[in-house]
Amino acid sequence: MTDSENGRRLHAVDDALLRRREAISDLGDALRLLIEHATATEAPTEELRRAAERIRQAAAPLGERARGRHEPPSADDMRAGVRLYNPVTGAGSAFAPPLEIHQEGEITVGACTLGLAFEGPPSYAHGGVSAMLLDQMLGYAAGASGNPGMTVRLDTGYRRPVPLLTPLRLTAEVVDVDGRRVTVAGSIATAAEPGEILVAATGVFVGLRAEQARRLFGAIAGRGEESRAG
Amino acid sequence: MTDSENGRRLHAVDDALLRRREAISDLGDALRLLIEHATATEAPTEELRRAAERIRQAAAPLGERARGRHEPPSADDMRAGVRLYNPVTGAGSAFAPPLEIHQEGEITVGACTLGLAFEGPPSYAHGGVSAMLLDQMLGYAAGASGNPGMTVRLDTGYRRPVPLLTPLRLTAEVVDVDGRRVTVAGSIATAAEPGEILVAATGVFVGLRAEQARRLFGAIAGRGEESRAG
């Protein structure tokens, strides 16, 4: 094969991967819409039965070729941090709001809006959902500081309930690095009142030693060296 | 209307409600199956596009009659603790594994198996998912002890990662009651090795005063007096 042919082939592979990632995101959007409608619906009971049947029909062809627990999704790239099915941030995840995270200097900033499917106390987010968002924020901040690790502690303080269907602003910042041990603090507020903290958390993340990573992830097909937490 | 006619009418209403709850559970089962297939699928990209289209078609009729943030689902009964869309335990929730909880004397016991959709570190549960399960367990235990409340603290310690596709056993127990403030401890283990704690948590729940409940939940249509946390 000439260099030029090789280049075209690589390019075609990349195009196929990009198209697959777009399709996974689009399927994620459809799933999130379906879940929000299914949670909020007051449609007649027979309509719920019909929807369940249609959903089983849509699910069947997807179940025909499935990966197992130790096979990462073919569209992911763990070394590059592409995790399409992450249940907090993944564009392909039905559970993810999805939380959008970016770095502003030393500060990690997140944004999302929680639908009715995240409800705990009436009209507010489930307390566990706030913990889940903060675990992701704090883990991201640890990684962004060059100290990726697995969560070993997550201490969450709830000051006021987190409203549903309201744009939220989350922040996280590394407060201490002690060898492989990183401490991160973060919070949830509404985007409208970013100074009024609703939930605050402190997390401790520890980078894995090579031998721990082998023990925990040795069974993962084609795994990278990364040890990012979830 | 005679008493007998009235009795038949009430009976018919109950039947309709039970049928609706069954349909909501069945729709929940279909959604959970779809999500697991959509997360694990390695079906061709065109098949993902077709699935997204079918899902949007299934979602549309459900979206036609939707409740708002301050209207509880008509099939729920908050006073009786029936919350079909709770994101951890609800039979109608797409997110809920669902976690099955029951009381064994003083101990609250939970069981679930987490699918690939709950993945954080490769082949293990997202740390936030463990926090979410434990928040629900601890809140349930507080309520079961006669001291329902909202979560004010949740401190979670991660000892070993929680494996996916593995039956889990969770426990929770009230360790202190101080007025409206209840402290509960709980843990996650596998069902196969219940003595080997993977994640442990301590939570503090505080019962709402009447005036707090009015402020937080006053906008909820037809709300009960309960103040169970989520």
Percent of chain A with pLDDT over 70: 90
Residue B219 pLDDT: 86
Nearest CA-CA distance, residue B189 and chain A, Å? 16
Query: Counting every residue, how long is chain A?
Result: 230
Distance in Å, alpha carbon of B7 to nearest chain A alpha carbon: 23
A81 phi and psi, to 5 degrees? Answer: 75, 20
Q: B22 near A33, Cβ under 8 Å? A: no
**B24 domain-assigned:** no
Contacts of B225 in chain A (CB under 8 A): none
Calculate the CA dihedral of residues A102, A107, A113, A119 and round it to 10 degrees: 130
Question: pTM for the full model?
Answer: 0.91
Which candidate, B141, B152, B135, B210, places its Cα nearest to that of B175? B141
The whole-number pLDDT of residue A7 equals 58
pLDDT for B6-32, tens place per residue?
A: 556 666 669 999 999 999 999 999 999
Q: Give the model's pLDDT for residue B220.
A: 84
Residue-averaged pLDDT of chain B = 92
For B42-53, the pLDDT digits (tens) are: 999 999 999 999
Asked whether residue B174 is domain-assigned, the answer is: yes
What was the pLDDT predicted at A225? Answer: 41
User: Which of B37, B49, B229 faces A66 most closely, judged by CB atoms?
Assistant: B37
Structural domains of chain B, count: 1
Helical packing angle, A127-144 and B127-144, nearest 10°: 150
Q: Has residue B87 been placed in a domain?
A: no
Q: Say if residue B230's pLDDT is above 50.
A: no
Q: Determine the residue of chain B that is closest to A91 in CA distance.
A: B39
Give residue B144's Cα distance to chain centre.
Answer: 16
How far is the C-alpha of A229 from the C-alpha of A86, rounded, in Å? 11
Supply angle C-alpha B205, B209, B214, rounded to 5. 115
Is B133 within 8 Å of B99 (Cβ atoms)?
A: yes
Give the residue, B223 or A136, on which the prediction is more confident: A136
- In our burial notation (b when 16+ CB lie closer than 10 A, e otherwise), range A39-49 reads bbbebebebbb
Dig out the tokens for A118 from the structure: 């995240």
Radius of gyration over every alpha carbon of chain A, rounded to an integer in angstroms: 20
The rounded distance, in Å, linking the Cα atoms of A157 and B84 is: 27
pLDDT at A228: 44
Using the structure block, give the residue that is written with the tokens 């039947």: B15
Question: Which residues in chain B have their CB less than 8 angstroms from residue A34's CB?
Answer: 31, 34, 55-56, 58-59, 62, 94
Does residue B5 belong to any structural domain of this protein?
no
Selected residue of A15, A18, A35, A39 to mutate for chain B interface (largest B Cβ count, 10 A): A39
pLDDT digits (tens, 9 = 90+) for B56-108: 999 999 999 999 999 999 999 988 889 999 999 999 999 999 999 999 999 99
| Rounded CA separation B135/B186 (Å) | 9
Predicted confidence at residue B171, as pLDDT, reads 98
Number of Cβ pairs < 8 A linking chain A and chain B: 351
List the single range of A13-17, A21-25, B143-147 with lowest mean pLDDT: A13-17
Q: Is residue B75 part of a domain?
A: no
Q: Is the pLDDT of residue B5 over 80?
A: no
How close does chain B come to A1, measured CA to CA in Å? 27
Got the DSSP string for chain B? Answer: --HHHHHHHHHHHHHHHHHHHHHHHHHHHHHHHHHHHHHHB---HHHHHHHHHHHHHHHHHHHSSB--TTS--TT-BTTTTB-TT-TTT-TT-SS--PPEEEEETTEEEEEE---GGGBSSTTBB-HHHHHHHHHHHHHHHHHHTT---EEEEEEEEESSPPBTTS-EEEEEEEEEEETTEEEEEEEEEESS-TTS-SEEEEEEEEPPPHHHHHHHHTTSTT--S-----
Residue B226 has pLDDT above 50, yes or no: no
Q: Is A224 a residue whose pLDDT tops 70?
A: no
The reported pLDDT for the residue numbered A95 is: 96
CA angle A68, B96, B226 (to 5 degrees): 165
Give the CATH number, domain containing residue A186.
3.10.129.10
Domain housing A112: 100-221
In this structure, is residue B48 part of a structural domain? no
Q: Are A131 and B135 in contact (CB under 8 A)?
A: yes
Q: What is the pLDDT of residues A145-195, one digit of tens each?
A: 999 999 999 999 999 999 999 999 999 999 999 999 999 999 999 999 999
With CB atoms and an 8 Å threshold, state whether A42 touches B73. yes
Query: Which of A61, A136, A217 faces B122 most closely, judged by CB atoms?
Result: A217
Place of tokens 């996916």: B164
Residue B164 lies in a domain: yes
- Best mutation target among B29, B49, B69 (most A Cβ atoms within 10 Å) is B69
Q: What pLDDT, on the 0 to 100 scale, is given for residue B3?
A: 57
Torsions phi, psi for A14 (to 5 deg) = -60, -40
Alpha carbons B160 and B123: distance in angstroms, whole number: 13
Say whether pLDDT at A6 is over 70.
no
* CB spacing of A48 vs B20 below 8 angstroms: yes
User: Is residue B112 a part of any domain in this protein?
Assistant: yes
Q: Count how many residues are written for chain B.
A: 230
Average pLDDT, chain A: 92
B38, A45: Cβ pair inside 8 Å?
A: no
* A19, A29, A36, A45, best to mutate vs chain B, most B CBs in 10 Å: A45
Dihedral of CA atoms B62, B63, B68, B69 in degrees, nearest 10, equals: 80
pLDDT at residue A21 greater than cutoff 60 = yes
Tell me whether residues B230 and A158 touch, CB distance under 8 A. Answer: no
Q: Check whether A219 has a pLDDT greater than 90.
A: no
Residue of B200, B208, B195, B197 whose CA lies nearest to B175: B200
Mean pLDDT of B184-202: 98
Cβ-defined contact of B155 to A153 (cutoff 8 Å): yes
Q: What is the pLDDT of residue A78?
A: 84
Lowest mean pLDDT among A137-146, B71-80, B178-187: B71-80
